[in-house]
Amino acid sequence: MSSPQVAVVGSANLDLVFNTDRLPVPGETVLGGKFATHPGGKGANQAAAIARLGGQASLVGCVGTDANGRVLRSALTEIGVRVEFLQDDPHTPSGTAGILVDRSGANMIVVAPGSNFSVTPDQVQAAINSLNPDIVLAQLELNLDAVQAASHAKRFILNPAPSQPLPDEILAQCEVITPNESELKALTGISPTDASTCEQGSRILLDRGVSNVVVTLGDRGSYWTSASSGRHFPPIAVQAVDTTAAGDAFNGALAWFLATGREMANAIQLANCVGALSTTKPGAQESMPTWEEFAAVASEWL
């Protein structure tokens, strides 16, 4: 029997990370500390999270033929992500993200999508036809028509980040949608401050055709709502260093555990652990836990 596969339809960016004591307010300049570059992008990070856990992941996306594109492709290959469906665009620079991280690990991010917006529906459909993945996972750092093509997979998970209005045609294809607090508010007008408001906002999305809503709540864990249940999953306790890509770690892990046949509740609990562990190291892809690191804290749920 072949191993489960997840196709991640998404972005690859080079992250330019500035560490500072505190995040600036509009119009303010603050002196930072360390500066570093890291391979990132929501799609690439989520694929990396799967590969670091020992899973089979392919990234369907696009990078430029510039030096950044070569760095991004090489980093994914080294981690073990399949990149035969990561195309080169000779006319557009690779995606780039500017990230500010304060001493508590909180961050602010601005993304210049670049070649990520070169991904086409035909490219996505061809990749899905070739890979026949168990699950397709997508985000919104691509053109919406590429996401629409991804949504026709047999099992589709959408991480609606960064937030934007979504048509019912895409929502109705979502086996799972995974908004964070600000994304749920943008999609529904409901701010998820407690279990009641998590469920209230989630049920708006259920009414639009989504099967399962998993709201990621940062250091408060996550909340799952389906037609028949609503349940909070508390976080595990860690010392956060950098929260960059914690949501990506969660999403990649959730897709992988569901692809391996785990039940939703168990997959969410395990993904909570992966997301939390990713905050204990700086960076994006390099912060994703290995299976050994993950199993050491998640043994009671495995």
Residues assigned a catalytic role = 248
Residues 6+ apart with CB under 8 A from 99: 15, 16, 17, 18, 40, 107, 108, 109, 244
Helix (H) or strand (E) holding 128: helix 121-131
Residues 6+ apart with CB under 8 A from 239: 280
Three-state DSSP class for residue 111:
strand
Q: Are 283 and 38 in contact (CB under 8 A)?
A: yes
Residues 6+ apart with CB under 8 A from 173: 151, 152, 156, 209
- 15's tokens: 């992250």
- Separation CA 16–CA 38 (nearest Å): 7
- 172's tokens: 């109705």
Instruction: Burial-class residue 196 by CB neighbours within 10 Å (0-12, 13-18, 19+).
Output: exposed
Please state, in angstroms and as integers, the Cα–Cα distance from residue 97 to each residue in 12, 18, 90, 114, following that order: 10, 11, 20, 10
